[in-house]
Structure 1
Amino acid sequence: MSMLASASRSVRLSRGIAIQKRGYADVLTLPGKTAIQYGAPGRSASSGQVATVFGCTGFLGRYVVAKLAKLGTQVVVPYREEDEKRHLKVMGDLGQIVPMEWDIRSDQQIEECLRHSDIVYNLVGRDYITKNYDFEDVHVTGAERIARIAAESGVPRFVHVSHLNASKDSPSLFYQSKAEGEVRVKEYFKDATIVRPGSMYGYEDRLLNNIAIWPIWWKLNNMETKIRPVHMLDVAQVLASFSSLPATPGTYNLPGPSTLTYEYLLSLVSSVTYQPPSKAPVVPKSVALALAKAAQYIWWPALSPDEVERRFIDDVDVEGDWASLGVEPSEIEDFAINYLRRYRSA
C-alpha cells in the first residue's frame, strides 16, 4: 500500500509540474479576438494567429510560409495541384500548415480558405499570359475577388503584393495590370497594405538563373536597362513581420539597395560561374518580339512579348521603406554565389 501511495503522489506531482502557468504577456489581443501564445519561440510554438497565403506555392510564397510558421503562426496554404504544396507541409509542426484546394475563380473556395484568418496575403502573380489565365484574370480580377471576400468575411488585415514598376501608363501590360490590381484591392479593402518589391533574386528566381542560362535575352536595350534587384528573403521577412504589427495601411516600396544595369549583372554572373562572357550579339527589339511571339506556342515560353517590353523599362527611382519596417536590404553580390554555384562546370 505504501508503494502504491508513493506512486500515486509521484503521478500527482509530475502532473502538477507539467501544468504551465500563463502570464499577462502571453495574452495576444487581435482585432476581433483574444488569443493565448504558448511554447518556446519556434515552429512548435503557437502565436495564436492564423494566416492565409494565396500564391504560397510560388517563388516568394514558400519563404513567407516558412517565416510565418517559424513564428508559430498557423498557415493556411491554398493550392491548385496536389504536388505543388508538398514541400510546404514540413515547414511547420503538426497542424501548423493547413493545405486547402482552391481556384481563383471560385468565391466559395476562397472564402473557405480565409474565413478563420487574422491576416491574408495575396502573392498570386503571373509573369506571362497562358491560354487559361491572362494578366487581367490574375492581377486584377483575382486580386479584387480575394480582397472583396476578405472584407466580407471580416478579415482584419490584408496584404497585397504588387510590383515596384506598377503604373497604369506603363507600356507593359504586366505593370498596367499590377497598378489596376492595387486600385481594385483598395476599393474593397481600404486599409489594405500594398507592398511593391523590385525584381527578386533567389534559388528559383527568373533573374540570376535566366541570365546564367540565356544571357542573350539580357543584352536587349544594349544592356543599359537599370534595375534594383532585391533579395527574396528580405521581402519575405517584411511580409512575415506584418503579422505581428498593428494595422499598416498604405503602400510600401521595397527596391534593392543598388541600381544596376544588365551589363553589370551579366558581368557578375560570368565572374561567379567562371563562364566566359557571352559573345551573342545584341538582338534588335523587333526581332526579339517576333521570336517571343513564336515562343508562345511552346508549352513553356522562353520569353514572352511582354517580358521583352519590360527589358526596356528602367526600375523607378524611389526611396525604399525598409528602415520603417526594420529590415536592411542585402546586396546581390553577397548572395550571388549561393544561387549561381550550380552553373560552374567543375
Structure 2
Amino acid sequence: MNSNLSGKKIAIFGGNGFIGSHLTSKLCEEACQIHIITRNPKKKRKFFFANDPGQVNFEKIDNYNQLNVTEKIKGCDIVFNLVGILAENKSSNFNFVHEEIPHLIANGCKENKVRNFIHLSALNVNKISDSSYAKSKYKGELKLKESFPSSTIVRPSVVFGRGDNFTNFFSNLSKFSLFLPVIGTPEIEIKKNKFPKIDFRKKVKFQPIYVGDLVKFLISISNKKNKTYDLAGPFEKTFEQIFDIILKYKRRKRIYIPIPFFAANLIAFFLEVLPNAPLTQDQVKLLKYNSVSKKGLQNLKQFVKTPLSLETVIKNYL
C-alpha cells in the first residue's frame, strides 16, 4: 500500500470509535504521527493500537468551536473526520454533529493550510430526502466543500468488523431471543377506496463493507484531493441473508419476524423514550432505501483488489 505518509502528522476526529480505532491501528504501521481529537480521551481502544510509545496521542476537545478546532489541527498534514451519530440524544443532534462539526474542521483545515481533509459520510445520503440523518449528512458535505473545496468525501455502505454496532448487535440479540426482526417486509400500502396491498417481496438490501478494507481505502486515498467516493462491499445482502450468516457461524436457529414499516415506526416511537434506543423513527425511514452501489464496489477495488465478504471475515471477530 503506497500511501506516502512517512513523517506526516495526522489528526483524526472521532479516532477512538469503531472505524477510527481500526484506522489508527492501520496507520500505526506507517511512520507517521497520529493525533486523536476526542471528547473522551480516556475511552481508548488499546486493543486496536500498535505498541509504539508516542506515535499515538489523545487530545481532548471539550467544546467544538472554531477556535478549539483550528488549534487542534495546527501543524497537521492530513485530517480525517469520522465523527457521527446514528440517533440524536440530549447531548448530540444531527445538525451539530453532521453539519457544524465538519464545517468547523474544514475552516480549520483552510486556516492551517492542511494538505488534505478526508470526511466520512454515508452511502446515498444525497438521494434520501425524508431522513433527518441523511439530510444532515448531505448538508454537512455541502458546507465543508464551501470552506475547503479540495476535501475528499467517502460514502460507505454499512460497515462491519470487530467492534461494530451492526452484526454484533444482532448476534447479541440472538443470544436472548428466539425471534429476529426483519424490517420492511412485508410492506402494507393503503390507498383511498382500495383494498390494502401487502407486498411480501420488498426487501431492503445492503452492500456491507469490511472495516479493514475501508481503512485501507482511506489511507490509500489520503493524498487525493477534491474527490467523492461511494463505497460498497463485494455482495448485496438482505436482512435475512445477514442473519443467516450470523446464525450459521453461531450455530443457532431463530425465527424471522417480518415487520412492516408502519409497525416498525410505531415500535420505534415507544423505544425512543429509552436513553439508548435500539431503533428510532428516523432509522426506520432510512431502512426504506437500499444501501447498495455498483460504482461503490468499483471504487473500492481501485485500491483494495480483493474486498473481503461478511462470510469470510465473521469468524475472525464475532
TM range, normalised to the smaller chain? Answer: 0.7 to 0.9
Q: Which residue identity is paired with 1:302?
A: P
Are 1:339 and 2:317 an aligned pair?
Answer: yes
State the match for 1:294 in structure 2: 270
TM-score by length of 2: 0.85
Paired residues of 1:266 and 1:277 also in contact (CA < 8 A): no
Distance in 2, matches of 1:231 and 1:119, equals 23
Secondary structure of residue in 2 paired with 1:84: coil
Secondary structure of residue in 2 paired with 1:307: helix
Question: RMSD over aligned Cα, in angstroms?
Answer: 2.3
Secondary structure of residue in 1 paired with 2:162: coil
Identity percentage over the alignment?
Answer: 28
State the match for 2:32 in structure 1: 73
State the match for 1:150 in structure 2: 109
Unmatched tracts of structure 1, length 5 or more: 1-27, 31-45, 341-346
Partner of residue 311 from structure 1, selected from 279, 287, 300: 287
Are 1:234 and 2:234 an aligned pair?
Answer: no
Distance in 2, matches of 1:135 and 1:253, equals 21
Q: How does 1:251-290 map to 2 (within 5 A)?
A: 251-279=228-256, 281-290=257-266
Distance in 1, matches of 2:114 and 2:76, equals 6
* Higher relative contact order, structure no. (Cα contacts within 8 Å, ≥ 6 residues apart): 2
CA offset at residue 282 of structure 1?
2.1
CA offset at residue 90 of structure 1?
4.9
CA offset at residue 201 of structure 1?
0.5
Paired residues of 1:103 and 1:110 also in contact (CA < 8 A): no
State the match for 1:164 in structure 2: 123
State the match for 1:205 in structure 2: 164
Name the CA shift for 1:66/1:301 in 2 (closer, same or farther; >3 Å).
same
Deviates more, 1:143-152 or 1:208-217: 208-217
Distance in 1, matches of 2:47 and 2:75, equals 20
State the match for 1:8 in structure 2: none
State the match for 1:39 in structure 2: none
State the match for 2:58 in structure 1: 99
Paired residues of 2:21 and 2:48 also in contact (CA < 8 A): no
CA offset at residue 266 of structure 1?
1.6
CA offset at residue 177 of structure 1?
1.4
Q: Which residue identity is paired with 1:319?
A: K
Paired residues of 1:121 and 1:159 also in contact (CA < 8 A): yes
Q: How does 1:111-126 map to 2 (within 5 A)?
A: 111-126=70-85
Name the CA shift for 1:162/1:90 in 2 (closer, same or farther; >3 Å).
closer
Secondary structure of residue in 2 paired with 1:253: strand
Name the CA shift for 1:168/1:64 in 2 (closer, same or farther; >3 Å).
same
Higher percent of residues as helix: 1
* Structure number with bigger Rg: 1
Are 1:195 and 2:154 an aligned pair?
Answer: yes
Query: Per-residue CA shift, 1:256-287, capped at 9, x if unaligned?
Result: 111111121121112111111225x3233223
Name the CA shift for 1:175/1:276 in 2 (closer, same or farther; >3 Å).
same
Distance in 1, matches of 2:170 and 2:45, equals 29
CA offset at residue 88 of structure 1?
7.6
Distance in 2, matches of 1:116 and 1:92, equals 24
CA offset at residue 324 of structure 1?
2.7
Q: Which residue identity is paired with 1:158?
A: F
Name the CA shift for 1:197/1:101 in 2 (closer, same or farther; >3 Å).
same
Distance in 2, matches of 1:103 and 1:329, equals 38
Paired residues of 1:79 and 1:85 also in contact (CA < 8 A): no
